[in-house]
Chain A
């Protein structure tokens, strides 16, 4: 990782961030032959069209799979002309899809929505843009909250991103899955179907709500597999970086609370990686390449369990509330530690006295139950769930012989207790063999992957 660090430093000094490490550079170059149409997805902070011309080279067949660019020859020509072709029916095969560009991931608890806001709209386009589309764009980009529960994560916005030849900002929006019926209702009210866009959706909800989209809003979903989307989205965001900064980070000195610090890094040569996606539940994937991965296992003890138990135990209602409480609590009042049982370390088995022997073990005693605080309970729930995920992930990493463990998913949002704990657990129990990595856009990769699938439809034969 020292290498990664130095790279980061160098980039920091050299200004605009480039995706320029080893293998991914090669991949990058081989795609960037769509010169006339844009700088292809590099989140170059520079200009819009035609700025980064790269020798058009060997666009090999496999590269065509990369949906975010590589629309090679067909994308050549006048962008203005292209943009006029808005109707999906005409453009779906040969051209980029019509706006609006959405990618949606409908999970068990949260809906994650990414929206690409083009900033390179020409006057001509502006004129032709239907009112409907305009109002959607304005609604989404001028608000940071939608209704009671919808939120735009402004701090995650990817600015001046080039996708499929267009430059724009990628917005990250989330709202509870429970609000899905209202969202569909809104789609109908705004006459979304008249835009003839394809709504690319992944996550279980893509299947569950498919009928409702069709019946209520006359919208046809393009259903996508969530794990495919997750990996594609993750690799893409890592490649383009986070507005000039690396998307990925890790913790230095994870075993020492005093000197433990967050450090940025790049997913330098990312394969193989163990990808642990912590949403309501947890999926663990072994990823060998963008298209080659397997789901190793999963666990039902995930973010949903943390929040569900917290709600029952403390009466809280939101994830933020639960985390807020947890941050103030002390789990050792709830959990039985090794030293509570053995008076110190259990040396026979090399167990530290401070290790948790029994989660919620103290709660077997009525007196302790009667005097415990909500904060302590919330903290213990968080620690229990997090440690368990860490433990399973570690075993999987060992079984699969993978040293890099990447944690994503919305459970990690604003949740430094868990990220640090995972980093510590990976490091401590593997005696430094495993490294936990995290990504800034935690839970949005599925949605990004779905959006990329939309753009991919333009290049598939």
Chain B
């Protein structure tokens, strides 16, 4: 959140146009910007542009091993390359700054190919002339509602945890909804000055099925008349302090109690403002504002329910300036919907509700780039996140007017889809613990990440020894990430549900932001080099074991390799075998069932989500894979598309596998016969979201009739997916390397989780029959 240099919050409604903007923090990447869109509302302007970001990526390249001399110690070389990726920028600011902002954009816009700016919103025509004059761009107006819907579809599809339920008195104010890949149909109730109720059936099909003239404008206009209070925000503040019962006629005012016959409770409002007609007294501004707020919220809620019922829709999203992050209105609307539908319909709100119009206008203008064919991801480093607007929670932030809010979205290289093997995609929640709701866990993990920050900074600097400014960048990273952690402490809901995964991802985004694409590259390289030397030895000793001993040794190898994290020094292969693995029975132990299963027919195809580099992948996973291949099971190895911690990336794994194939005929045959496949997961996270996976992976999984999913490591099998239900057999293996988490799960440090699951009602032998989701 970039604050602009505003003097005093008391003067916040006087227009100070001489502000100096911290340009690099707000209108980022302007030099490459093209395709502008602007949505000018009654008080806020939302600007959108498409830009490209140049940043460093770490690439691995195999040495040419035909030249024996070069073979040396290292398997592959790491090089830093510049890569250009697409990013969408959205900035929200008060209309008062529009001129300053336009001037700034004009001065910094390098790209001259841009000729048009898409515009929407009620204020678009008012500022048309100004925009054209300042920017020299032609203003091209787009229909407001069309933009709104397009924007809404876009955020619902691309931003996990976009929608939330508001619960004023719950532990967590915001309860985020799991991302349902099937977003249609839904009802959008847009509460601007009036109300529009729109039924959205598909990307291009929507219809305004109704509306009401009693909306935000009524609250504002009537409220201003009644209370002599000018500003919308102030009216809401008045309302939050008032008592509506002194103005409204309640059921108990008429009945003396409840109207039991109809089940109407005494506190129900029978007649809004009913007492002001009869009682001969003055009413307080607060009470009148509260009564008005209830009247309007209830009315809108009632209409929304009537339309939802008529069209048989259960997903109802609310937006518009009346809602826009105001806890008071979200609360009254939620209350109203609960009352009128008896809980059958939930009122849903959106984190990026304020941006819908500008996103939609932007998408209209960018149709030739076809942004909808890509997947996009919220960049946590560049986005402000959802603000706490609850006055009790964070009084400072009520003065939001001087702030610039930002949303940045990265175009993902791969299109992301659900894993087709999820039992119920709509109820799948990747994360095991929601830190938004679990205050103790939140405290612990925020502390953990803060503690670890120094180490991360050091490692980042170390990863770029030949770059002298690395230390400075690393310091900037530290500040940025620390600020994010502080923000999340105050507003755990800033980016949706707070999870260990989101904390890790935020750190990766921040590292990338400051050009530390792969701080672990050198460590991974070294570990891989060393581990590879022991591969043949390991395979040989495994082959000497009896079948049963071997199966256990393979499992133990994966688990031990997983313990063997980047912290440990893999100098001696012997250490690998003496890793202090806890004795069986493990904390979660279904090894016996797994062994029984192995005595049966081989699986058709196993999908293996791998974790760390070095001993983990080479000495743990690969022998396991080798055994599966020997059994006649095809294996799909899924690794990260981009770097995250010391996790092996797809690029690295390609090289490693080639090297292993050169030593091992089983792996070699697997590759040659196309029975061993290396695919990328589409992710660059130490965790795993099975609802956002590479489309190619999903395709392979389907084609190969995958009947076994193996997930390895703490990030993928415990922090996430611990409770994930799959429609085929699954095996989750991890060692808990964190004593707090171990404690939480009822175990100790280095407790082992070995969770083999067969979906209910599915006998083993049928597992080969893949059922499409």
Q: Which residues of A contact B (CB under 8 A)?
A: 107-109, 176-178, 203-205, 207-210, 225, 227, 279-281, 295, 297, 299-305, 307-313, 334-336, 341, 348-349, 355-364, 366, 369, 377, 384, 387-388, 391-392, 395-396, 398-399
B interface, by DSSP: helix, strand, loop or mixed?
helix
Interface size in chain B (residues, C-beta < 8 A): 59
The answer to whether A360 and B217 touch (CB under 8 A), given A304-B249, A312-B226, A377-B225, is: yes
Residues A392 and B283 in contact, CB atoms below 8 Å apart: no
Q: Is residue B122 within 8 Å, beta carbon to beta carbon, of the partner chain?
A: yes
Q: Is the CB of A305 within 8 A of B272?
A: yes
Which positions 128-163 of chain B face chain A at CB distance < 8 Å?
143, 145-146
| Residue from A176, A308, A399 within 8 A of B273 (CB atoms) | A308
* B248 interfacial contact with A, CB 8 Å: yes
Q: Are A107 and B277 in contact (CB under 8 A)?
A: no
Contact with A along B274-302 (1 / 0, CB 8 A): 11111000010000100000010011001
Contacts of B230 in A (CB 8 A): 366
A281 touches B271 (CB 8 A): yes
Chain A residues, Cβ within 8 Å of B715: none
Find residues 189-238 in chain B having any chain A CB closer than 8 Å to their own CB.
192-194, 196, 208, 210, 212-218, 220-222, 224-226, 230
CB closest residue in chain A, given B209: A349
Instruction: Kindly list chain A residues whose C-beta atoms are within 8 Å of the C-beta of B192.
Output: 358
Do B212 and A281 touch across chains, with their CB atoms under 8 A apart?
no
Cβ of A384 and Cβ of B259 under 8 Å apart? no
- B contact set with A: CB distance below 8 Å: 42, 122, 143, 145-146, 192-194, 196, 208, 210, 212-218, 220-222, 224-226, 230, 247-249, 251, 253-257, 259, 261-262, 269-278, 283, 288, 295, 298-299, 302-303, 306-307, 309-310, 340
Scoring B251, B298, B306 by chain A CB atoms within 10 A of each residue's CB, the highest score goes to B306
Contact between A301 and B303 (Cβ–Cβ < 8 Å)? Answer: no
> Chain A's nearest CB lies how many Å from the CB of B226?
6
Q: How far is the CA of A356 from the CA of B215 in the complex (A)?
A: 11
- Please measure, in the bound complex, the distance between the C-alpha atom of A227 and the C-alpha atom of B264, giving whole angstroms: 13
Provide the bound-state CA to CA distance between A14 and B680, in Å.
Answer: 91
Q: How far apart sit A396 and B303, CA to CA, in the bound complex (Å)?
A: 10
Q: Is the CB of A349 within 8 A of B208?
A: yes
CB <8 Å contact, B213 and A335: yes
In the complex the two chains form, is B254's CB within 8 Å of A203's CB? yes
For B216, list chain A residues within 8 Å (CB). Answer: 358
Tell me, rounded to whole Å, the shortest Cβ–Cβ distance linking B27 to chain A.
30
Question: What 10 A-B pairs come out closest when comparing CB atoms?
Answer: A363-B221, A204-B254, A304-B271, A308-B273, A208-B256, A358-B217, A304-B274, A360-B221, A361-B217, A358-B193
Contact B225 A313 (CB under 8 A): yes
Known: A297-B302, A348-B143, A395-B310. A176 touches B274 (CB 8 A): no
Q: Chain A's nearest CB lies how many Å from the CB of B245?
A: 12
Given A304-B249, A387-B213, residue A108 in contact with residue B303 (CB < 8 A)? no
Contact A392 B213 (CB under 8 A): no
- 20 additional contacts (CB under 8 A) given A348-B208, A392-B302, A392-B306: A108-B249, A108-B271, A176-B278, A208-B257, A295-B262, A302-B274, A304-B277, A308-B247, A308-B275, A310-B277, A312-B276, A336-B194, A360-B217, A360-B220, A360-B221, A360-B225, A363-B224, A364-B42, A364-B217, A391-B212
Please give the distance in Å from B571's CB to the nearest CB on chain A: 71
Closest approach, in angstroms, between the C-beta of B247 and any C-beta of chain A? 8
**Which residue of the partner chain A has the closest CB to B309?**
A399
- Assess the A280–B218 pair: CB atoms within 8 A: no
28 contacts between A and B (CB under 8 A): A176-B278, A225-B261, A280-B249, A281-B269, A281-B270, A281-B271, A281-B274, A297-B306, A299-B299, A300-B272, A302-B271, A302-B272, A305-B272, A308-B271, A311-B276, A312-B276, A336-B193, A348-B145, A358-B213, A358-B215, A358-B216, A359-B215, A361-B217, A364-B220, A384-B213, A391-B210, A391-B303, A395-B303
CA–CA, A300 to B310, complex, Å?
22
